[in-house]
A and B are shown apart, each in its own frame.
Chain A
Amino acid sequence: MSGSTPVVDANRTRNRIFVAAGTIVIVATYLYLILAQPAELAEGGLGTSALIALAGYLIGAGLIAAGAIHRLPTATLSLIPIAIVLNIAVGQLTAVLGLPLYLDSIGTVLVGVLAGPAAGAVTGALTNVIWGLTIGPIALPFAVTAVVIGVLAGYAARWGMFRRFYLAPVAGFVTGIVAALVSAPIAAFIFGGATGAGTGAIVAAFQAWGNSLLASTTLQGLLSDPLDKAITFTIVVIILFALPSRLRGRFPFVRQYNVFGKVAPVAPAEPAAPAEPEAPKA
């Protein structure tokens, strides 16, 4: 906007407001769709739920991405395009290998773990934009799911879920549950449960057992997403543990929150012999 001032603090407040507003919009959209939906479907139509799902989620994801990208230093910004391409390349490779998984968020999780929730959110949102420009616009409504995955990966890293090898899949499983819940209204109200042949069959089965449309897409998501994200997080933790700690230690977020648990104790435990001078805080 033309009204942006060069004062850093003003922009910071504005960005915080963007992120907070985006989060509120996404949560409000989800709650509205869950609470108001049964009444509307009983009247025999979709009502405004499809428009609210699409607009609320896209605006929320856009606000979070716009607010978050300004916080990122250049080193993180130059990591994001490569992570986006990694998402798309591995996602396609998985499809070529014929695996019954998506594995299209490895880059998003990687950036979230190395550079924090804000970077993860931007990677997720822009991955779906690039996906829309290169392969087809079907993935675009699901941008909010990618944002949620990136943010949760960042917080999981901050809370120490990547310090132990076995904690990462647990964090991935939980992320998958949240991702499934958030994306269920999109699958239900925008795609009518038909996001693919396999998923469509599962949705049809749940509906035949007497579940509502939204309940069926939620259950379908809960079948596939937690497993997919647990595997994704496992792949990411294997890759990151295989990296030399010199490379991992380059990221300020990793040092600040002691993401891998092994690097930082060097400084407080052996104050007599610091390996390298502490980087100034941003």
Chain B
Amino acid sequence: MTTLYLERASAVHRLNPVTKLVALLAIIAIVFAVPQWWVPLGIVVFVVVPAAVLARVGGRLLRLFLILLLPLLVVLFIVQGFFFPDGTTVLWQWGPARLTVEGLVFSLTIGSRLSALVLGSLVFVLTTHPARLMTSLTQAGMSAKIAYVISASLQIIPAFQERARSILLAQQARGLEIAGGPLRRARALLPLIAPLVLGMITDVDERSTAMEARAFGATPRPTSLTVVDDPLSERIGRWLLAATAAAVIVLVVVGVIA
């Protein structure tokens, strides 16, 4: 598996994946509904980060934050802080770049929302094993076909990367140049992709024959080998989370939170 999942023994890991997914969706809905920039920041500081620490994935979350999110936030503050089209209160100006209060507030709003979205999703992915997620979603009524496609993709990735690497080495051994200008490097792509796709399409026939021989898709709701726990408390919790998110959205639309 090449997913971001980290194996730990924690309460967050043990939660039903559907509960975590509902919590994530509720957080995202609230964060994008409320216009105040400090609400998403508060959710990150008081909900997402404590959840990561509780699940003992805080270190990895920090590293992913530095790799994935920080560059985006820096670009965001440069682009919108200095070049926000509707900025009127100019703090500092140099050529076409104008540092405006409106631009800074805008980047703060987008930046804190983006942080909540990305960090919340990361905590979900870090603490939820894909197989367990698929099982619980199928139990909740998702199509087994979707579960198959996602699980199969995750299992193929390592084998596929291995195949791609060996094709790259084989073509380099035959004199393929991957250094040089962009055009030359682009031309190098084709001898790599063509054998990959050829192999892939020949594989498909065998795979689908094997699946049909095992009656894939014949039963609308097959019995599951492993059952993910779904206690009553979590089911109630999910409804409460969904109701909270819906209430916040209604309050924003009506104009109570503005």
Binding site for B on A (CB under 8 A): 1-2, 4, 6, 41-42, 44-48, 50-51, 54-55, 65-66, 69-70, 72, 74-75, 77-86, 88-90, 93-94, 97-100, 103, 106, 110, 122, 126, 129-130, 132-134, 136-138, 140-141, 190-197, 200-201, 203-204, 207-208, 210-213, 216, 231, 235, 238-239, 242-243, 247, 250
| CB-based contact A196/B113 at 8 Å | no
Contact with A along B33-76 (1 / 0, CB 8 A): 10100000000000000000000000000001000100111011
Contact of B78 among A122, A141, A204, A216 (CB under 8 A): A204
Cα A250 to Cα B102 with chains together (Å): 58
- A85 adjacent to B197 (CB under 8 Å): no
In the bound assembly, the distance between CA atoms of A140 and B120 in angstroms comes to: 13
Q: Which residues of B contact A247 (CB under 8 A)?
A: 201-202
Output the nearest chain A residue to B110 by Cβ-Cβ distance: A192
Give Cα A104 to B35, complex, Å.
34
Residue of A nearest to B33 (CB): A51
Distance of A242 Cα from B85 Cα, bound (Å): 49
Residues in A whose Cβ lies below 8 Å from that of B28: 54
Lowest 7 A-B CB distances belong to which pairs? A137-B121, A192-B110, A194-B76, A81-B152, A200-B75, A194-B75, A51-B32
Assuming the contacts A192-B76, A210-B85, A243-B201, asked whether A132 and B121 have C-beta atoms less than 8 A apart, the reply is yes
List chain A residues, Cβ under 8 A from B178: 97
Q: Are A86 and B197 in contact (CB under 8 A)?
A: yes
Residue pairs across A and B with Cβ atoms less than 8 A apart, 26 shown, are A46-B110, A50-B32, A51-B249, A55-B32, A69-B149, A77-B145, A80-B153, A89-B157, A89-B164, A97-B185, A99-B186, A133-B125, A133-B130, A137-B122, A191-B76, A191-B110, A192-B76, A193-B80, A194-B72, A200-B76, A204-B78, A208-B83, A208-B96, A239-B197, A242-B194, A243-B198
Distance in angstroms between the alpha carbons of A246 and B152 in the assembled complex = 26
Are A1 and B141 within 8 A (Cβ)? Answer: yes
Q: Which residue on A lies nearest to B107, using beta carbons?
A: A192
Which of chain B's residues have a CB closer than 8 A to the CB of A136? Answer: 4, 64, 68, 118, 122
Cβ-defined contact, A196 with B75, below 8 A: yes
* Identity of the chain A residue whose Cβ is nearest the Cβ of B130 in the assembled complex: A133
Shortest Cβ gap from A107 to chain B (Å):
9
| Residue on B nearest A215 in the bound complex, by CB | B85
Docked Cα-Cα span, A72 to B148, in Å, equals 13
Contact across chains for B200 and A82 when beta carbons are under 8 A apart: yes
Q: Annotate B186-227 by CB proximity to A: 1 below 8 A, 0 otherwise.
A: 101110111011101111110110011000110010000000
Which interface residue of A66, A69, A191, A212 has the most chain B CB atoms within 10 A? A191
Would you give the shortest CB distance from B206 to chain A, in whole angstroms?
Answer: 9
CA distance A24 to B119 in the complex (A): 31
Q: Are B149 and A138 in contact (CB under 8 A)?
A: no
Contact between B149 and A235, CB atoms less than 8 A apart:
no
Selected from B35, B111, B201, the residue in CB contact (under 8 A) with A46 is B35
Is B188 within 8 A of A239, CB to CB? no
Interface size on B, residues (CB 8 A): 83
Asked whether, in the complex, the Cβ of B32 is within 8 Å of the Cβ of A126, the reply is no
B130, B204, B249: the one within 8 Å of A75 (CB): B204
Let me know if B156 and A75 touch, CB within 8 A. Answer: no
Distance to closest chain B CB from A234 (angstroms): 10
Contacts of A231 in B (CB 8 A): 186
User: B216 to A82, Cβ gap below 8 A?
Assistant: no
Contacts of A211 in B (CB 8 A): 85
Q: Are B149 and A122 in contact (CB under 8 A)?
A: yes
- CB proximity of B116 to chain A, nearest CB, Å: 12
Q: Contact at B203–A82, with CB atoms within 8 Å?
A: yes
- Interface contact B211-A78, CB-CB below 8 Å: yes
The answer for the CA separation of A97 and B107 in the assembled complex, in Å, is 32
Bound-state Cα–Cα, A140 to B121, Å: 10
B3 CB-CB contact with A under 8 Å: yes
Cβ-neighbour of A197 out of B71, B197, B204 (below 8 A): B71
Q: Which residues from A are CB-within-8-Å of B188?
A: 97
Assess whether A235 is in contact with B146, with CB atoms less than 8 Å apart. Answer: no
The answer to whether the Cβ of B90 comes within 8 Å of any Cβ in the partner chain is: no
> Are A85 and B153 within 8 A (Cβ)?
yes
Contacts of A213 in B (CB 8 A): 84-85
Which of B73, B118, B150, B202 has the largest number of chain A CB atoms within 10 A?
A: B150
Q: Which of B121-166 contact A (CB under 8 A)?
A: 121-122, 125, 130, 141, 143, 145-146, 148-150, 152-154, 156-157, 160-161, 164
| Shortest distance from the beta carbon of A126 to any chain B beta carbon, whole Å | 5
- Given the interface contacts A50-B32, A82-B156, A97-B185, does A130 sit within 8 Å of B150 by beta carbon? yes
Residue of B with least CB distance to A240:
B197
Which chain B positions have C-beta within 8 A of A75? 204-205, 208
Query: How long is the Cα–Cα vector from A256 to B203 in the complex, in angstroms?
Result: 23
Contacts of B106 in A (CB 8 A): 46, 192
Considering the complex, give the chain A residue whose CB is closest to the CB of B152: A81
